[in-house]
């Protein structure tokens, strides 16, 4: 049983989280241990298993990004199992250049460091645009599910991973604790 099945919903990427939550609460009551206290051990164990699966399903599917990663995995396109050939050279070039620029600003003098805040804004804008793109692609996938669309979505997820990393890096650099360490 997968996460969509335990929640009794179709494999979709655009989900109404309020609806999902209602469904989760309703099923949680159904599989609640109290209701199985007097039942045979096998039945009790099964309810416990379902309850655990339900919790995992809710935690994963309520988040749009985790939902995408999960669906990709179900459809045999696990982001963790990619090889280099799955990552287009243009993306690697772009990410390499962004990392280079970040490193130069980080290692540089005060002027160069002054660019860090601007870089953070730029990375955040990129991330925002990617999230909008993912939302759009999710809707397109739901309207016409298929492997090519999922491949496209995985490509955008890859780019998002890289940009997210850059955001983390630049924020680490801008954090006051990093700069004001007493000598």
The site for another protein (CB under 8 A) is made up of: 79-80, 82-85, 87, 89, 91-93, 95-96, 99-100, 103, 157-159, 161-162, 164-166
Q: Supply the minimum distance, in Å, between the C-beta of residue 160 and another protein.
A: 8
Q: Supply the minimum distance, in Å, between the C-beta of residue 158 and another protein.
A: 4
**Are 33 and 48 contacting, i.e. CB atoms less than 8 angstroms apart?**
yes
When the beta carbons of 83 and 109 are compared against another protein, the nearer one is: 83
When the beta carbons of 23 and 160 are compared against another protein, the nearer one is: 160
Q: Supply the minimum distance, in Å, between the C-beta of residue 1 and another protein.
A: 26
Distance CA 99, CA 19 (A): 41
When the beta carbons of 94 and 142 are compared against another protein, the nearer one is: 94
Which region, left, alpha or beta, applies to residue 181 given φ > 0 means left and ψ of -120 to 50 means alpha?
beta
- Quick one: 155 exposed, middle or buried, by C-beta within 10 A (0-12, 13-18, 19+)? middle
When the beta carbons of 26 and 168 are compared against another protein, the nearer one is: 168
Which region, left, alpha or beta, applies to residue 12 given φ > 0 means left and ψ of -120 to 50 means alpha?
beta
**Are 102 and 169 contacting, i.e. CB atoms less than 8 angstroms apart?**
yes
Q: Supply the minimum distance, in Å, between the C-beta of residue 169 and another protein.
A: 8
């Amino acid at each position: 049983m997968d996460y969509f099945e335990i929640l009794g919903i179709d494999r979709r990427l655009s989900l109404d989280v309020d609806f999902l939550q209602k469904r989760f609460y309703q099923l949680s009551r159904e599989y609640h241990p109290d209701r199985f206290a007097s039942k045979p051990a096998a039945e009790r164990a099964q309810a416990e298993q379902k309850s655990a699966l339900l919790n995992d399903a809710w935690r994963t599917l309520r988040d749009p990004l985790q939902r995408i990663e999960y669906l990709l995995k179900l459809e045999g396109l696990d982001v963790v199992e990619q090889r280099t050939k799955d990552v287009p050279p243009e993306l690697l070039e772009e990410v390499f250049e962004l990392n280079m620029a970040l490193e130069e600003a980080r290692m540089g003098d005060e002027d160069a460091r002054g660019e860090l805040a601007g870089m953070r804004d730029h990375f955040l804008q990129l991330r925002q645009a990617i999230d909008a793109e993912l939302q759009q692609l999710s809707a397109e996938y739901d309207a016409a599910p298929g492997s090519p669309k999922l491949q496209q979505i995985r490509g955008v997820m890859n780019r998002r991973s890289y940009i997210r990393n850059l955001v983390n890096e630049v924020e680490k650099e801008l954090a006051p604790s990093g700069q004001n360490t007493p000598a």
